[in-house]
Amino acid sequence: MPELTFGDPHERDDLGAFVARAVRLDAASVIRLRSRGDGEFVEAWLATPFDVLATRTVRGSLSPGDMTVSANELLAALAIVRGETVDPGRSQDMMWRSALPPGQGWQVIDQLPAGVVASLADKGIEVARENAGPHGTPPASLLDQTVLTVSSDGMEIKVPLRCLFAMSGMGFIGNEGPDDQVRVTATDSWLRIDARFGAVVRRRHALLPLLV
**Average confidence score pLDDT of the chain:** 91
pLDDT at position 136 is 62
pLDDT at position 6 is 95
Q: Higher-confidence residue: 205 or 159?
A: 159
Secondary structure string (H, E, C) spanning 89-121: CCCCHHHCCCCCCCCCCCEEEEEEEHHHHHHHH
pLDDT average, residue stretch 144-158: 93
Q: Tell whether the model's pLDDT for residue 210 goes beyond 60.
A: no
In this prediction the pTM is 0.93
Q: Tell whether the model's pLDDT for residue 137 goes beyond 80.
A: no
pLDDT at position 148 is 93
Angle at 134 between CA 206 and CA 124, to 5 degrees: 55
pLDDT at position 206 is 66
- Across 78-87, 103-112, 202-211, which has the greatest mean pLDDT? 103-112
pLDDT digits (tens, 9 = 90+) for 29-63: 999 999 998 889 999 999 999 999 999 999 999 99
- Kindly give, in sequence order, each residue whose CB lies less than 8 Å from that of residue 196, ignoring residues fewer than 6 positions away: 114, 172, 173, 176, 177, 180
Query: Going from the N-terminus, what domains does the chain have, and what CATH number goes with each?
Result: 3-95 (3.10.150.10), 107-203 (no CATH)
pLDDT average, residue stretch 151-176: 90
Q: Tell whether the model's pLDDT for residue 187 goes beyond 70.
A: yes
pLDDT at position 212 is 46
DSSP one-letter code for 38: T
Q: Which residues pair with 113 in a beta bridge?
A: 181
